[in-house]
Amino acid sequence: MSDQQQFGKRGGSGDDFDGAGEAGQAQVTRESNTSDIDSMLDEIDGVLESNASEFVSGFVQKGGE
C-alpha cells in the first residue's frame, strides 16, 4: 500500500455570505486595541518622564546576576 495523502477542495455550506459584517467588526476591534495600546504607551512615557532614573536603576546588573 502507498502512503499517499489526498487533499480535496472543501465545499461551502452554499450560503452567499461575503463576511462584510465580520470584516467591519474586526476593523472596530483593531481600532479599539490600537487606542488602548496608545493610551498605555502614553502612560508609560509619563512615568518615564517623571522618574526615569529610578526605572532604569531597576534594570542595572548587580555583581554577577
Residues 7-24: tens digit of each pLDDT: 555 655 555 555 556 666
Contacts of 55 (CB under 8 A, 6+ apart): 47, 48
pTM: 0.40
The percentage of residues in the chain with a pLDDT greater than 70, rounded to a whole number, is: 60
Task: Give residue 45's region: left, alpha or beta (phi > 0; psi -120 to 50).
Answer: alpha
